[in-house]
Structure 1
Amino acid sequence: MTDAGVDLSQLSEDHQLALHQFTAVTNQEVKDAIPILQRCQWNVQIAIARFFDGEPAEDPVAEASANIPAPQDTRRQANLLHELNTSSRSSRSRNRQLDPAPRVVPQPESQVTAQTPLLLSIIFTPFSLLYSLLSKYFRFFGYLFPFLPRLWGRLTASNINTPAGRRTATGRRPLNPRDSAARFLREFEEGYGMHSLPFFENGYAQAYDMAKKELKFLLVVLVSPEHDDTSSFIRDTLLSQEVVDFIRAPENSIILWAGNVQDSEAYQVSAALNCTKFPFAALVVHTPQVSATAMSTVARITGPTPPPQFVSKLRQAIQQHSEPLTRARAQRAEMQATRDIRQAQDSAYERSLAQDRERARKKREEAERKAREEKEAQEQEQAKEREARKLEQWRQWRASSIPSEPAAGGKDIVGISLRMPSGDRVVRKFAADAAVEELYAFVECYDILQSEEGVPKGVEEPKDFEHEYRFQLVSPMPREVYEVKAGGSIREKIGRSGNLIVERTDVEESGEEEE
């Protein structure tokens, strides 16, 4: 075997690659890394496992190689290496406890109040009352003498130069999470120029919630401007193309949040993540193997770290927790699909129910419309029947009040020839001073006057009934209509005799109703 002082140029390309991978993960010196790799036959995984778990008393690879025949050496050695690698990883995963990553919500300093102990509040109660009385007393005097407040303001003018906003010990004004993130990005671009890092432009709690909801990795980067390695870490590692490409890669699902520990929120995050050295980076992810809602810190990177080592640690942590995260995503997708199916079924049921309700509503409205129409028709029929009964009662009452025909040869008699709607001609004599309405009443009650039973006696005039003649008397040549509303006597309107035609005025109305 080659000793530890061998020249790197003498190593093969595979051995140089193995040496580079081992030093990137373990941060060991080359002179210390080569002996371990030589003892592990340049197997990087076994060398890393031995470095973190300690080397066993006996070399399992050498012992296995010595006890196995030559033709089967390569195959069984590979199996042994695989078993050793699997056992070392399982032992490390069992022994290592995932640190919980709490959700940090900074409390505004203006809302921070200190509760006074009960004993002190009791002791200072008299002083509080005295202060209240004095304050009211001085306010009263200030109201009476307005120059006193101005004089007191001049005496205490030293407070005018105090800044209006409260500032921290570092001189930074405390802001809300979104404004703090915007200030960090602005200072970052001013100090290091334009970049391609996808910083999350909001508070840590919002980034935490997004990573938990979308099952992504949350990369938290905390820097301290007072630390000597901050500038070199940002320029050489964080802004290196390798790190930027790794963070922006969609398959890695990384949310990047960074903060300055001089800000209140970033300082609280550093305390929650147990940050002891700057610059600091932590990878936080949902760990369903711990609990259904757990968020854990799965990787920590402290101090200045080369880009390959920085990316290697992140990649290793992502690979270790990708499988549980994939299962969680699948479960969520299945739950979401089930929820969508149930929602679609509920929507279809609601639509069907709405259609049934609409049909029932239309059916009910149609039934109500028919019932309303039937009721209206029935009411109209009843109204017509009442109207007909009252009209018949009026005709009987009016027929009883029509005077008898004057005797022939008498004075002041007018002879009228009437042609009825039936075509019959009726000749009758009327008193000359009789009103035209008498002539209309005779025509209206002619059938009762000519009936065999005669005119009924004792019929009263119907109440709440206004009679209207539905015909008119017309003189044919020249044509002249003698309206009942015009009034006047028969002699004034017609003369000593006349031929009149009875024309019905309700023919058109009845025709329209039939149509």
Structure 2
Amino acid sequence: MLSARGLLKEFLTAALAIIKTPLFLSNKLYSCVLKPIFDSLYFIPGTQLEQLEASQRFKKEYENSYGPLHLNIFNGTFNGACSAAQTELKPLLVYLESSEHDDAAVFNQKILCDSALIQLLNDKFIVWAASSSTFEGSKVSDKLHVAGFPFVGVYTFVHNRLNSLLKLERLYSLDLTLKKIRAAGKAAEASLFQIKKEREAQLATQRLKQEQDRAFFESLRIDQQKEQQKKREEEKSKVKEEELFRENNLLAQARTRNLIKLPEEPEQHTPGAIELRIHFPNGSSSSRRFNESDKILHVYHFAAGELIEDGKCLIKNFSLCSSFPKKTFEDKSQTLKEVGFTPRMSLYLINEDD
């Protein structure tokens, strides 16, 4: 007893046969109205499973009837086989059999199981096979305009167009079948070679662009890192400069206060007065009179005050020394008389930060 799906399929098949005759409706009405309805069977539950199993069922039925088949038949739909052929750049061989033709058994027993043919097909082709009695087999038969069985067709895809290289629509001898399939395979290689070169050129262009993009973004990343590092260093330098400025400013203020607190400068020819000249590293010099009772510390305060320019200390750490005899005055608590200063004395300021 037929299932509801089978009854629906038989009904639509019969209706299609009637409608296609010019006695009832025009071809235009058939193609625009009823054919889409028939095609919608692909989406009726059960029929999609049937089309997916068409190639699998062929191989299973073949092996049940003739024994193991070592031919690699594409496990999927016809459209899937087409996609695989395009992706792998191989020709597509389509084999359709019909149970209504006695030649199908001869082809399956004598030709399809031939080891040379199987090796050729497994190495060079994507093979899709089905019975025309299956729904998808019937659809593919109509699509390829098959006029006879057993059918062997070889196709290539050039710029997404299906090109026919071989159509065998009846039984031929094994030698002739093998010869024709080999010739079709060579013709396919010639057409697919150009596509392969174009694809390789496209891939090379894509890889080059990707490498250029990677190089650009890597360069951009390095530049950004350098810029960030530069900003961090500038910020650190700015903070350090600000700290140094504050320190220098505090030191200048302290030295200015010390300069103000210096003992009063004695008049010239005052007994015990010492005329002191200090020479600076830049070649300039400053002079002042001190009492012999003044301390070395007062001389340092005077020299430090002379090193202030525009509110900044030109030299932070320094010492004072005489040239003859050569002596550095480090004990700032001693008086000028105690260290042996003469009425006229020259000292040299040494920058200890150099």
- TM-score scaled by length of structure 1: 0.37
Equivalent position of 2:57 in the other structure: 183
Per the TM alignment, residue 366 of structure 1 is displaced from its structure 2 partner at its CA by 4.2
1:243–1:265 Cα change, 3 Å:
same
Per the TM alignment, residue 312 of structure 1 is displaced from its structure 2 partner at its CA by 0.9
Matched, 1:276 2:147: yes
For each residue in 1:79-135, what CA deviation from the matched residue of structure 2 results, as whole angstroms up to 9, or x when unmatched?
A: xxxxxxxxxxxxxxxxxxxxxxxxxxx9662747xxxxxxxxxxxxxxxxxxxxxxx
Equivalent position of 2:72 in the other structure: 198
CA contact (8 A) 2:54 2:137 kept: no
Equivalent position of 2:21 in the other structure: none
Q: Which amino acid aligns with 2:146?
A: C
For residues 232 and 265 of structure 1, the distance between their equivalents in structure 2, rounded to whole angstroms, comes to 23
For each residue in 1:354-402, what CA deviation from the matched residue of structure 2 results, as whole angstroms up to 9, or x when unmatched?
A: 2212222333344456657888x69x99xx9xxxxxxxxxxxxxxxxxx
Per the TM alignment, residue 184 of structure 1 is displaced from its structure 2 partner at its CA by 3.1
- Higher RCO (CA 8 Å, separation ≥ 6 residues): 2
1:187–1:345 Cα change, 3 Å:
same
Secondary structure of the structure 1 residue equivalent to 2:147: coil
For residues 190 and 317 of structure 1, the distance between their equivalents in structure 2, rounded to whole angstroms, comes to 30
Q: Which amino acid aligns with 2:41?
A: E
For residues 184 and 260 of structure 1, the distance between their equivalents in structure 2, rounded to whole angstroms, comes to 6
Matched, 1:109 2:31: no
1:365–1:266 Cα change, 3 Å:
farther
CA contact (8 A) 2:51 2:136 kept: yes
For residues 74 and 215 of structure 2, the distance between their equivalents in structure 1, rounded to whole angstroms, comes to 40
Secondary structure of the structure 1 residue equivalent to 2:166: strand
Q: 2:95 aligns with which of 221, 233, 238?
A: 221
For residues 100 and 119 of structure 2, the distance between their equivalents in structure 1, rounded to whole angstroms, comes to 28
For each residue in 1:3-30, what CA deviation from the matched residue of structure 2 results, as whole angstroms up to 9, or x when unmatched?
A: xxxxxxxxxxxxxxxxxxxxxxxxxxxx
5+ residue gaps, structure 2, are 1-37, 251-354
For residues 358 and 184 of structure 1, the distance between their equivalents in structure 2, rounded to whole angstroms, comes to 63
Secondary structure of the structure 1 residue equivalent to 2:153: strand
Per the TM alignment, residue 310 of structure 1 is displaced from its structure 2 partner at its CA by 0.7
Q: Which amino acid aligns with 1:326?
A: F
1:182–1:294 Cα change, 3 Å:
same
Equivalent position of 2:209 in the other structure: 342
**RMSD between superposed Cα atoms in Å:** 3.0
1:117-128 correspondence to structure 2 within 5 Å: none
Matched, 1:267 2:138: yes
Q: 1:243 aligns with which of 110, 117, 121?
A: 117
Q: 1:311 aligns with which of 148, 161, 178?
A: 178
Q: Which amino acid aligns with 2:105?
A: S
For residues 355 and 238 of structure 1, the distance between their equivalents in structure 2, rounded to whole angstroms, comes to 63
For each residue in 1:173-228, what CA deviation from the matched residue of structure 2 results, as whole angstroms up to 9, or x when unmatched?
A: 65164444333333333232222101111111121122223321100011123332
Equivalent position of 1:356 in the other structure: 223
Q: Which amino acid aligns with 1:240?
A: D
1:3-402 correspondence to structure 2 within 5 Å: 109=41, 111=43, 174-175=48-49, 177-249=51-123, 253-287=124-158, 292-368=159-235
CA contact (8 A) 1:222 1:266 kept: yes
Per the TM alignment, residue 254 of structure 1 is displaced from its structure 2 partner at its CA by 0.9
5+ residue gaps, structure 1, are 1-105, 113-164, 167-172, 385-515
CA contact (8 A) 1:286 1:293 kept: yes
1:240–1:358 Cα change, 3 Å:
same
Secondary structure of the structure 1 residue equivalent to 2:228: helix
CA contact (8 A) 1:284 1:298 kept: yes
Range that drifts further, 354-363 or 305-314: 354-363
For residues 365 and 236 of structure 1, the distance between their equivalents in structure 2, rounded to whole angstroms, comes to 82
For residues 317 and 190 of structure 1, the distance between their equivalents in structure 2, rounded to whole angstroms, comes to 30
1:329–1:110 Cα change, 3 Å:
closer
Per the TM alignment, residue 328 of structure 1 is displaced from its structure 2 partner at its CA by 2.6
Equivalent position of 1:406 in the other structure: none
CA contact (8 A) 2:91 2:188 kept: no
Q: Which amino acid aligns with 1:231?
A: A
For residues 242 and 336 of structure 1, the distance between their equivalents in structure 2, rounded to whole angstroms, comes to 35
CA contact (8 A) 2:155 2:162 kept: yes
Q: How many residues align?
A: 210
- TM-score scaled by length of structure 2: 0.52
